[in-house]
Structures are given as structure tokens and as C-alpha cells.
Amino acid sequence: MNNSRRVYSTEAGRVHPSTPARSPASPGPPVPNDGVVRIFRDRSGRNGKVVTVIRGLPAREVDERAGALKRLCGAGGAVKDGTVEIQGDHRERIAERLRALGYTVKLAGG
């Protein structure tokens, strides 16, 4: 429980750990591990700025593909928890490239 803090309770005079706070930006809906790469467009927790989120890439290829996709789009981005986030709406361009590389791609979300 390294993310909790102790809170004093007057009921029994004991100290109880509080519940850990939820992260402000949830990672989104859970994605099944079925070999399909899903590409989302997301704005939540980003002050209205659009980010393209790619989930379902094999774990050993995430860093390599992230760099190549950022160069393809000419945009910045990051790898977080096995997902690739690229700044801006680049779903079609990314889907086309991943299909050319042999991935099964699905455009998910709005």
C-alpha cells in the first residue's frame, strides 16, 4: 500500500488506511487480447486536445512501432502501459500503415 495514507478515526480510536485515489485519466475501455490492433481517438483528460491511441500491438514491438508511427505522422507521442499515444487525429494514416505491415486493424471509438 505505497499509494495510501493513514487517516485517524474517532470511532474506535484506530488508524485506518484510506482508499487509494483513482487516477484522473483512466486508460479507457479494456481491450481483448485477440490479435487485433485497435486505434482510438481520445480527448479525455487532455484539455480537449485529440490524441490517437493504439492498443493491441505485440509488447516486444511497441517501442519500435511507436517511433516509426510518430515519424510517419510528423507528431509527438508517448508509450504508456503498452499503448502508443500520438498527438493529433491520425487514425486513417496509422491504420493504413499497420495494415501494410500485416496487422489486423480496427478503428474503434468515435
Instruction: Render 18-44 in DSSP notation, one character per residue.
Output: PPPPPPSS---S----SSEEEEEEE-T
Coil, strand or helix at 71: helix
Q: Residue 74: CB partners within 8 Å, gap ≥ 6?
A: none
Question: Tens digit of pLDDT for each residue in 30-84?
Answer: 666 778 999 999 888 888 899 999 999 988 989 999 999 999 999 999 999 889 9
Can you say whether residue 98 is alpha, beta or left, with left for phi > 0 and alpha for psi between -120 and 50 degrees? alpha
Which residue intervals of the chain are DSSP H helices? 62-73, 91-100
The percent of residues above 70 in pLDDT, for the chain, comes to: 70
Pairing type for strands 36-42 and 51-55 reads: antiparallel
User: In 10 A of CB 3, how many CB atoms?
Assistant: 6
Domain architecture of the chain: domains with CATH = 26-107 (3.30.780.10)
Q: Residue 90: CB partners within 8 Å, gap ≥ 6?
A: 52, 69, 72, 73, 75
Question: Tens digit of pLDDT for each residue in 32-41?
Answer: 677 899 999 9
